Chains A and B, each alone.
Chain A
Amino acid sequence: MADVEMKDAKTKGETNSDVAAPPQSPVVEIKSNIALIERAVSTLEPRFTIRVLRSLTALRKRLDEKACWTPCPKSIPQDSTIRSSLLSWLPATPAQDESMEVDPSPSPKASSETVPETEIYFRLLILHHLLTSPSTYSAAIDLANETVRKIQSFNRRSLDPIAARVWFALERAYELGGELSDARPLFLAAQRTASLRHDDETQASLINRLLRSYLHYNLYDQADKLISKTNFPASAPNSQYARYHYYLGRIKAVQLDYTAAHTNLQQAIRRAPAPKLAPGFYQAVHKVFVVVELLMGDIPERSLFRHPVLEKALHGYFDIVKAVRTGSLSQFQNTLTLHATSFESDKTYRLVARLRQNVIKTGIRRLSLSYSRISLRDICVKLHLDSEEDAEYIVGKAIRDGVIEGRIVHEKGWMECGGQKTGFGPEVSEMFSRRIGYCLELHNQSVKAMRYPLNAHRKDLVDAEGAREREKELAKGIQEGEIDEEDALGGDF
């Protein structure tokens, strides 16, 4: 897959809901982020860290050396080794910046020890900065490796969300600067550790890293084995889930399990952030999705190809859909050769090539709908088949596979088409029950996902207590005949 696209695809998940915050300068933003991280560590509340990481993608694009460097003095004590080790990764820091930043308050509560989370966060920022230019890729790989070693030596749970991002950066570094396959043993080892430590965030991230690495080298067998041997943590963030479903969908599609592929890709689309934010991922998923839908015998909706984000990317696929829809083998073959390179780079060529039989099936189905009796000779001509003999076998197979209802009369050399199914029956109720099941599941999931402020129910408890009190009084009043029953009810409601 083209590099640019994959980059997009990978960046997509980082921002699921970009809060419309006023654009801050990166320096200010990093500073406030560090405060948040410290707060997260002291209050043991991972929410703050997650908030910081959510802004990472947006921040990443605006990073420069100054931004990486300037907030350092404030948050990291002047003389600590951490600081010097961090600085060594930044190429030639301009001197005047330093003097500018040092003067305001010489002792910025230097007593507080730097939390490891802050350090790793800085490393992550520097890492992303290094990844912006090809000349520093090798440095990025070194830094990533060192950072990962550090994280593993700390073994702190509050570090997990950041660690997950570091793994992502590590993969990027290896992909850009060297061989992606070299990082695989690293991922595998880390994945084992992460699952032993119940480090869900890192585990989810690593499983995706591994799957991506396998799929990059077309190792579908291994990828499939990995999936069957691991449990994707249920608490993983949406962005990781979207990727996981995407990879799963691709694997299932290759294994001809189109129904499972379809469900997974649909999930990936649903969980993915808005198309405008992560166009690359959205396009990548839809490419496979369209092909899988065609393989299942469905025709994707026309509106899909008019979507502003998808229109251009799906151009080749649109032509394929047209060919399949009309059931014309020659048109299909032409389109396939025309777009071969783009399909190849999307790694969908072989999937698309499988559509050939669907083209034939669609053709036969169209014929069976429009004719009640048609000679094999005509079928052969209309579908551009090579010989009548072939036509007979193909029609026979279509009848057996349940594509059409009909009979072949061999002696007369024609096909008689039977009536179509009415579309009522147990299948309908099955379809409904599947949809209802999905809605119910969705409802239950969203109820589970709701967050409630702590101790908020206390107030309600007090209220309820008061109400009960009043009710008791009321009951007493009624009993004593002071208040008329009707009055009381009317007043209360």
Chain B
Amino acid sequence: MSSSKLHTLHKQLIRAFASQPSDLTTTGRLLAELKVILIETGLIFPQGEFSTKDLVIARDILEIGAFWSIRTKAVPSFDRYFSQLQTFYNDFSSVLPRSEREFPIRGLNLVRLLIQNRIADFHTTLESLPLPADELVANPFIRHPVNLERWLMEGSYSKVWNAREEAPAEEYKFFVDSLMGTIRNEIASCEEAAYESLPLKDAATLLFFRSQSEVLEFAKQRGWQIDLTRGVITFAQKGEEKIEIPKEKLIANNLVYARELEQIV
């Protein structure tokens, strides 16, 4: 019974998702229903024997779920769908035909990790991708986050900015805003350290702001001092940190050495 219901709902889901523009509310409702069925049939975390067809359907549903979460900007929900998909991508890779949505989703996951500044996780995930090094560069969905990470690490922020429109899939653009937020904060912290003062106009270009009011707003958030008459931002100098001798630590260390030496002699 549940199997036939699964099939009909699955078809409805595809229809709802594929319609232009996607019917997000219906998709969400169908996904919730389908998930219940998946759990009942045990397909959400398959153990034992299942037909390839059922597994493909289950994977399909989860993939649509992942895209749907991105479109509704529900990142935690994307996270859940992605971890459920892991089983299908890794453990059933020999049984199932490769899904064409696999790399877009993997790529999206990488971008997500990047934006949340989870660089260690980003690299771990990247390392476990089932791709040789040269394909890594050839695959547009993976190349995008890999390049983003490299530019972010180097500090080539303008390249990141320019790449925002080159997203390989529609869903990637959903992350652009938060990505820009991330790099603006990065740039701002660099500016605080590297400049004593900066003309307002240049600050706007550096931070990729279009109008001065946006800069002023941003500067207020970061607590920068703005001299409006001269049109200059001055960054608060972190006065030379006084070099202090950590007395207590040194004493404690010396006591430890003395005790150890006592034991040796």
For residue A89, CB closer than 8 A to chain B, the reply is no
**Chain A binder among B27-35, B99-107, B151-159:** B151-159
Contact A357 to B154, CB < 8 A, known contacts A349-B133, A396-B193, A399-B190: yes
With both chains docked as a complex, state the minimum distance between the C-beta of A292 and any C-beta of chain B, in angstroms. Answer: 13
Closest residue on chain A to residue B124 by CB atoms: A220
Contact A433 to B123, CB < 8 A, known contacts A396-B190, A400-B189: no
Q: Decide: B194 and A256 in contact? CB cutoff 8 A.
A: no
> Which of B123, B126, B129, B264 has the most chain A CB atoms closer than 10 A to its own CB?
B123
Can you list 24 residue pairs at the A/B interface with Cβ under 8 Å?
A: A219-B128, A221-B124, A254-B127, A256-B119, A256-B123, A350-B126, A354-B123, A354-B153, A357-B153, A357-B154, A390-B155, A390-B158, A390-B159, A393-B155, A394-B155, A399-B190, A400-B189, A407-B195, A408-B195, A410-B199, A410-B202, A426-B244, A426-B246, A433-B253
The A330-388 residues at the B interface (CB cut-off 8 A) are 340, 343-344, 349-350, 353-354, 356-357, 360, 385-387
Q: Decide: B196 and A407 in contact? CB cutoff 8 A.
A: yes
For residue A455, CB closer than 8 A to chain B, the reply is no
Number of residues of chain A lying within 8 A (CB) of chain B = 47
Contact A389 to B124, CB < 8 A, known contacts A344-B133, A410-B195: no
A54 and B223 CA atoms in complex are apart in Å by: 67
With both chains docked as a complex, state the minimum distance between the C-beta of A278 and any C-beta of chain B, in angstroms. Answer: 26
Extra contacts besides A357-B153, A408-B194 (19): CB < 8 Å: A221-B124, A254-B123, A254-B124, A350-B126, A353-B133, A385-B156, A390-B158, A392-B206, A393-B155, A393-B157, A393-B158, A393-B187, A396-B195, A399-B194, A410-B198, A410-B202, A426-B246, A433-B253, A444-B260
For residue A429, CB closer than 8 A to chain B, the reply is yes
For residue A425, CB closer than 8 A to chain B, the reply is yes
Q: Decide: B133 and A429 in contact? CB cutoff 8 A.
A: no
With both chains docked as a complex, state the minimum distance between the C-beta of B72 and any C-beta of chain A, in angstroms. Answer: 27
For residue B60, CB closer than 8 A to chain A, the reply is no
Question: Which of these, A221, A357, A393, A397, contacts B128 with CB under 8 Å?
Answer: A221
For residue A440, CB closer than 8 A to chain B, the reply is yes
With both chains docked as a complex, state the minimum distance between the C-beta of A2 and any C-beta of chain B, in angstroms. Answer: 15
The B225-260 residues at the A interface (CB cut-off 8 A) are 243-246, 250, 253, 257, 260
* Chain A interface residues (CB < 8 Å from chain B): 218-221, 224, 254-257, 340, 343-344, 349-350, 353-354, 356-357, 360, 385-387, 389-390, 392-400, 406-411, 425-426, 429, 433, 436, 440, 443-444
A108 and B202 CA atoms in complex are apart in Å by: 96
A77 and B191 CA atoms in complex are apart in Å by: 83
For residue B220, CB closer than 8 A to chain A, the reply is no
A220 and B192 CA atoms in complex are apart in Å by: 37
Q: Decide: B120 and A396 in contact? CB cutoff 8 A.
A: no
> Which residues of chain B come closer than 8 Å to A411, judged between CB atoms?
199
Q: Decide: B155 and A220 in contact? CB cutoff 8 A.
A: no
> Which residues of chain B come closer than 8 Å to A397, judged between CB atoms?
154-155, 186, 190
For residue B222, CB closer than 8 A to chain A, the reply is no
Q: Decide: A344 and B194 in contact? CB cutoff 8 A.
A: no
> Which residues of chain A come closer than 8 Å to B119, judged between CB atoms?
256
With both chains docked as a complex, state the minimum distance between the C-beta of B128 and any C-beta of chain A, in angstroms. Answer: 4
Contact A350 to B120, CB < 8 A, known contacts A356-B150, A407-B196, A408-B195: no
With both chains docked as a complex, state the minimum distance between the C-beta of B193 and any C-beta of chain A, in angstroms. Answer: 4
Closest residue on chain B to residue A387 by CB atoms: B158
> Which residues of chain B come closer than 8 Å to A353, judged between CB atoms?
133
> Which residues of chain A come closer than 8 Å to B243, judged between CB atoms?
425-426
Q: Decide: A220 and B127 in contact? CB cutoff 8 A.
A: yes
* Chain B interface residues (CB < 8 Å from chain A): 90, 119-120, 123-130, 132-134, 150, 153-159, 186-187, 189-196, 198-199, 202, 206, 243-246, 250, 253, 257, 260, 264
A386 and B160 CA atoms in complex are apart in Å by: 13
> Which residues of chain B come closer than 8 Å to A408, judged between CB atoms?
194-195
Q: Decide: A426 and B245 in contact? CB cutoff 8 A.
A: yes
Q: Decide: A394 and B194 in contact? CB cutoff 8 A.
A: no
> Which residues of chain B come closer than 8 Å to A343, judged between CB atoms?
133
A396 and B244 CA atoms in complex are apart in Å by: 28
With both chains docked as a complex, state the minimum distance between the C-beta of B57 and any C-beta of chain A, in angstroms. Answer: 26
Q: Decide: B250 and A396 in contact? CB cutoff 8 A.
A: no
> Which residues of chain B come closer than 8 Å to A433, judged between CB atoms?
253
With both chains docked as a complex, state the minimum distance between the C-beta of A228 and any C-beta of chain B, in angstroms. Answer: 13
Contact A400 to B195, CB < 8 A, known contacts A350-B123, A350-B133: no
> Which residues of chain B come closer than 8 Å to A392, judged between CB atoms?
206
Q: Decide: A436 and B193 in contact? CB cutoff 8 A.
A: no
> Which residues of chain B come closer than 8 Å to A360, judged between CB atoms?
154
Q: Decide: B128 and A218 in contact? CB cutoff 8 A.
A: yes
> Which of B120, B132, B155, B158 has the most chain A CB atoms closer than 10 A to its own CB?
B155
Shortest Cβ-Cβ A-B pairs, 10 listed: A397-B155, A396-B190, A400-B193, A396-B194, A394-B155, A399-B194, A255-B120, A218-B128, A349-B133, A400-B190
Q: Decide: A443 and B124 in contact? CB cutoff 8 A.
A: no
With both chains docked as a complex, state the minimum distance between the C-beta of A408 and any C-beta of chain B, in angstroms. Answer: 5
> Which residues of chain B come closer than 8 Å to A224, judged between CB atoms?
124
> Which residues of chain A come closer than 8 Å to B130, judged between CB atoms?
218
With both chains docked as a complex, state the minimum distance between the C-beta of B118 and any C-beta of chain A, in angstroms. Answer: 10
Q: Decide: A393 and B190 in contact? CB cutoff 8 A.
A: yes
> Which residues of chain B come closer than 8 Å to A219, judged between CB atoms?
90, 128
> Which residues of chain A come closer than 8 Å to B123, judged between CB atoms?
254-256, 350, 354
> Which residues of chain B come closer than 8 Å to A429, judged between CB atoms?
250, 253
A357 and B153 CA atoms in complex are apart in Å by: 7
> Which residues of chain B come closer than 8 Å to A354, judged between CB atoms?
123, 153
A69 and B163 CA atoms in complex are apart in Å by: 69
With both chains docked as a complex, state the minimum distance between the C-beta of B186 and any C-beta of chain A, in angstroms. Answer: 8
A295 and B200 CA atoms in complex are apart in Å by: 37
> Which residues of chain A come closer than 8 Å to B206, judged between CB atoms?
392-393
Question: Which of these, B125, B126, B264, contacts A443 with CB under 8 Å?
Answer: B264
> Which residues of chain B come closer than 8 Å to A386, judged between CB atoms?
156, 159
A354 and B152 CA atoms in complex are apart in Å by: 12
With both chains docked as a complex, state the minimum distance between the C-beta of A380 and any C-beta of chain B, in angstroms. Answer: 11
> Which residues of chain B come closer than 8 Å to A394, judged between CB atoms?
154-156
Contact A398 to B246, CB < 8 A, known contacts A350-B126, A393-B190: no
A411 and B191 CA atoms in complex are apart in Å by: 14
With both chains docked as a complex, state the minimum distance between the C-beta of A492 and any C-beta of chain B, in angstroms. Answer: 24
